[in-house]
Amino acid sequence: MIKNICCIGAGYVGGPTMTVMAYKCPEINITVVDLNKNRIAAWNSDNPHDIPIFEPGLAEIVMKVRGKNLFFSTDVESAIDKADMIFMSVNTPTKEYGKGKGMAADLKYIELCARQIAAVSKSDKIVVEKSTLPVRTAEAIRSILDNTGNHVKFQILSNPEFLAEGTAINDLLNPDRVLIGGLQTPEGKAAIEELTAIYAHWIPREKIIQTNVWSSELSKLTANAFLAQRISSINSLSALCEKTGADVTEIAKAIGSDSRIGNKFLTASVGFGGSCFQKDVLNLVYICKTLGLEEVAEYWDWVIKMNDYQKHRFADNIITTLYNTVSGKKIAFLGWAFKKNTNDTRETPAMYVADTLMNDLANISVFDPKVSPNQIFTDINHVNGKSDEENQKQLSFVSDPYEACQNAHAVVILTEWDMFKTLDWKRIHDGMMKPAFLFDGRNLLNAEDMTALDFHYKGIGK
């Protein structure tokens, strides 16, 4: 029976997952550790608004269980030492150097984590891969644990997380399925059962799928690749719709009502963002390449190429429509997060659209209800490498949507925040330069309503 859990990494995956697990398993003590002192201090804050990750419903549950059976700490070693089970929820970004640069997952944080576990552990433990990892990472982790440890026994499980940001708490409370992969030996199967028993506190057993470790690792990459592929497919058709007069929303509805296709993930957009899709598809491409499966690699690579094409196409469309020049023009950005209900901006299409427009010397004024001003400068620096001082000449952040749009030549919707639907759009139009253009990268607003208000409305695939 598992009594003490340690989770390494207090990020978007580790934080919410462990919060829900602690809430549902009051008899298990869970300590979430992270090297980042500020992040841990924020998780320990008494003010729910300071919790470092914004997810609807998260802060409320943290306040209920923190200090009872959920703890946040920077003392990684002592949490590892006490734990019967350790979750690895550290970041696995795309490698930015050396072999596999721009494609492979960077496993340095995972390796460090494994070495730390090996060095500290004095008793047998179950180690659970929570972060998305390339197939056969468990083998590498096993090799590190077995060869550098204190000769204690480790069982390694793969238990990928399928939560989507913005709906993390609901996804964790009511998942479609939980996937647990482990070695098909008696010890491996026993470890799978231990983890199954934890999830069975709140998830029906028939939704807990047990597999071998490699199937579990590859299923996570495959799930994200399929989801990303659907978005790229509908986005590719949005370009065709714009040329032909078909409406991509109508097409999505028409094909989505075929139960074999299904109606989810068919919303054409400026492109997908987030920490997972691009990283995981690139990772799949890299794995296929290294195994000599060139055609398979190329097939999946087009999902990414199509997504890049969509972001550039959208930005180019803005420039072309504004009489081929945005130089010195104010452009308002409504939204910066990669999707609504999150403050996460990783791979957000907004930063790439901003970069293209800034290269054409536009002045951009950004409003987002949850993203901090510092974050947008970090993001744009990530794309163009310029200092904050330099970027501030062209990019500003305001805390009021009307101020962002005042005197703008165009308003661009980059995130589908619900609040944008209920803005006073007549007031926005009145305050803008004329003709007033509205580029809706999320098809959030009704084209007819906006045209009636005299906007030159441009949605995706319309």
Rounded to whole angstroms, the Cα distance separating 329 from 327 reads 5
**Catalytic residue check, 161:** yes
Least distance in angstroms from the C-beta of 71 to ligand ADP: 14
Q: Are 441 and 410 contacting, i.e. CB atoms less than 8 angstroms apart?
A: no
- Which residue stretch of 11-19, 215-223, 302-310, 394-402 sits at the interface with ligand ADP (rule: CB under 6 A)? 11-19
User: Which of 158, 70, 155 minimizes the C-alpha distance to 121?
Assistant: 155
Does the protein bind ligand ADP through residue 375 (CB under 6 A)? no
Q: Which one, 16 or 349, has the nearer CB to ligand ADP?
A: 16
Smaller CB distance to ligand ADP: residue 168 or 225? Answer: 168
State which residue, 107 or 252, has the beta carbon closest to ligand UDX: 252
Q: With CB cut-offs between 5 and 8 Å by kind, which of ligand UDX, ligand ADP, none does residue 76 bind?
A: ligand ADP
Task: Note if 139 is an active site residue.
Answer: no
Piece in contact with ligand ADP (CB under 6 A), picked from 7-15, 191-199, 214-222, 300-308: 7-15
Nearer to ligand ADP, 347 or 355 (CB): 347
Nearest to ligand ADP of 342, 356 (CB atom): 342
Q: C-beta of 89: minimal distance to ligand ADP in Å? A: 5
Q: Which of residues 260-319 bind ligand ADP (CB under 6 A)?
A: 275
Shortest distance in whole angstroms from residue 240 CB to ligand ADP: 34
Using CB under 6 A as the binding rule, the residues of this chain from 100 to 129 that contact ligand ADP are 109, 112-113, 116
Catalytic residue from among 7, 25, 113, 276: 276
Dist. CA 241–CA 237, nearest whole Å? 6
Q: Which is nearer to ligand ADP, 10 or 408 (CB)?
A: 10
Binding segment (CB under 6 A) for ligand ADP, from list 83-91, 284-292, 416-424, 445-453: 83-91
Which of 24, 95, 220, 339 is labelled catalytic? 220
Pick from ligand ADP, ligand UDX, none: which does 91 bind, CB < 5 to 8 A by kind? ligand ADP
Closest to ligand UDX by CB, 40 vs 228, is: 228
Binding footprint of ligand UDX on the chain (CB under 6 A): 161-165, 224, 227, 231, 265-267, 269, 272-274, 276-277, 338-339
Q: Which of 35, 200, 255, 453 binds ligand ADP (CB under 6 A)?
A: 35
Choose from ligand ADP, ligand UDX, none: what does 338 bind? Cβ within 5-8 Å by kind: ligand UDX
What is the chain's Cα-based Rg? 23
Is residue 311 among the annotated active site residues? no
CB 228 within 8 A of CB 450: no
Site for ligand ADP in 125-154 (CB under 6 A): 131
Residue nearest to ligand ADP as judged by C-beta position: 11
* 3-state SS, one letter per residue, for the chain: CCCEEEEECCCCCHHHHHHHHHHHCCCCEEEEECCCHHHHHHHCCCCHHHCCCCCCCHHHHHHHHECCCEEEECCHHHHHHHCCEEEECCCCCECCCCCCCCCCECCHHHHHHHHHHHHHCCCCEEEEECCCCCCCHHHHHHHHHHHHCCCCCEEEEECCCCCCCCCHHHHHHCCCCEEEEECCCHHHHHHHHHHHHHHCCCCCHHHEEEEEHHHHHHHHHHHHHHHHHHHHHHHHHHHHHHHHCCCHHHHHHHHHCCCCCCCCCCCCCCCCCCCCHHHHHHHHHHHHHHCCCHHHHHHHHHHHHHHHHHHHHHHHHHHHHCCCCCCCCEEEEECCCCCCCCCCCCCCHHHHHHHHHHHCCCEEEEECCCCCHHHHHHHHHHHHCCCHHHHHCCEEECCCHHHHHCCCCEEEECCCCHHHHHCCHHHHHHHCCCCCEEEECCCCCCHHHHHHCCCEEEECCC
Decide whether 78 or 222 has the Cβ nearer to ligand UDX.
222
User: Which one is catalytic: 55, 161, 194, 416?
Assistant: 161
Closest distance between ligand UDX and the C-beta of residue 338, in Å? 4
**Virtual torsion, Cα 356, 361, 367, 370, nearest 10 deg:** 50
Residue 76 as a binder of ligand ADP (CB under 6 A): the answer is: yes
Shortest CA distance to 408 belongs to which of 375, 376, 456, 342? 456
Task: List beta partners, residue 330.
Answer: 363
**One symbol per residue from 14 to 33: x for binding ligand ADP (CB under 6 A), - otherwise; what is it?**
x------------------x
In the complex, what is the shortest distance from the CB of residue 388 to ligand UDX, in angstroms, rounded to a whole number? 25
Binding ligand ADP (rule: CB under 6 A), the pick from 19, 69, 89, 158 is 89
Q: Name the residues that contact ligand ADP, by CB under 6 A.
A: 8-14, 33-36, 39, 76, 89-91, 109, 112-113, 116, 131, 275
Residues assigned a catalytic role: 161, 220, 276
